[in-house]
Amino acid sequence: MLKNKKMIIATMVFGMTATGSAGVYAGTSMEKISAFLNHSIGFTINGSSYTPVDNKGNALAPITYRDTTYLPVRALADVLKVPITYNAATHQVVIGTGTNTGSTSNLEAVEYSAAQKQAILTAFGSFQGFEKAYAPNQMVKGDAFQKVVASDDGISFLFEHMRVVISPRDYSAGYDSQEVQLSNGTKAKWYSPSTDNLMLGFSLDDRTVTISSPDKALNKAQMEKVAVSVAKLIK
């Protein structure tokens, strides 16, 4: 647990550089320093040894600069299942699901075109006994529905910042999960197949819906709101 404000600020700064957000500051607020990768510091998460890694699986080491240790915030947030996003407009790293990060006010309705609805109906129609089409009706503002894809075990709705999979299969089997109740009373669960991939899964009629945000543009509250919006497609 971080013990003081100095450590929190250090952690946030290193998290931004580790996730590629530092480019926002290039030529304005970036300051060149001489620091050290501190390979002597180890991590224990909930009693188990842990090695932070980036989104490509490369090991990360803390940085020590002027007696302050800078930790890999993205990697730690992922293993602790704490959502983290970066607001480029305000230059802020947002950690957790408090009042500010839990807002769902920036969600909007998904407006499917006639052609997109037909593509969705066709995708579901390729599954015998699973032809009834369902679709998410909410997304974050500025997002865009790209396409629907039918695979061997489900239908995937691909957005720029979100993925919704509707399948007869429950993908959470075998993973540690945290149960949550959605606003409509539905029981769902959060789980992470990998350190950088947080998913929300729940049962809907005869199928399982799985929601994720690969680029972490959606926080937990937003994904839970999207979950409630998944319903039978209105033709």
Distances (CA, A) of 66 to 22, 36, 73: 20, 10, 19
Residue where one domain finishes, among candidates 95, 118, 141: 95
Asked if 210 and 203 count as a contact pair (C-beta separation under 8 A), the reply is no
Residues 121 and 90 occupy one common structural domain: no
Residues 87 and 118 occupy one common structural domain: no
Q: Is the dihedral of CA 25, 26, 31, 37 positive or negative?
A: positive
User: Could you read off the pLDDT tens digit of each residue along the chain, which spans 235 residues?
Assistant: 444 434 443 454 444 444 444 444 444 567 888 888 888 888 887 777 888 887 777 888 888 888 788 887 777 777 676 766 666 655 667 776 544 444 556 899 999 999 999 999 999 988 777 889 999 999 999 999 999 999 888 999 999 999 999 998 888 888 889 999 999 999 999 999 876 789 999 999 989 999 999 998 999 999 999 999 999 998 7
| DSSP one-letter code for 2 | -
Phi and psi angles of residue 131, each rounded to the nearest 5 degrees, phi first: -75, -20
Total of domains in the chain? 2
Contacts of 26-35 with CB under 8 Å at 24 or more apart are: 33/65, 35/63, 35/64, 35/65, 35/70
Establish if 223 belongs to a structural domain.
yes
The pTM of this model reads 0.57
CB hemisphere CA count around 56 (13 angstroms)? 5
CB hemisphere CA count around 64 (13 angstroms)? 7
* Range of the structural domain that residue 222 is part of: 107-232
CATH number at residue 201: 3.30.200.100
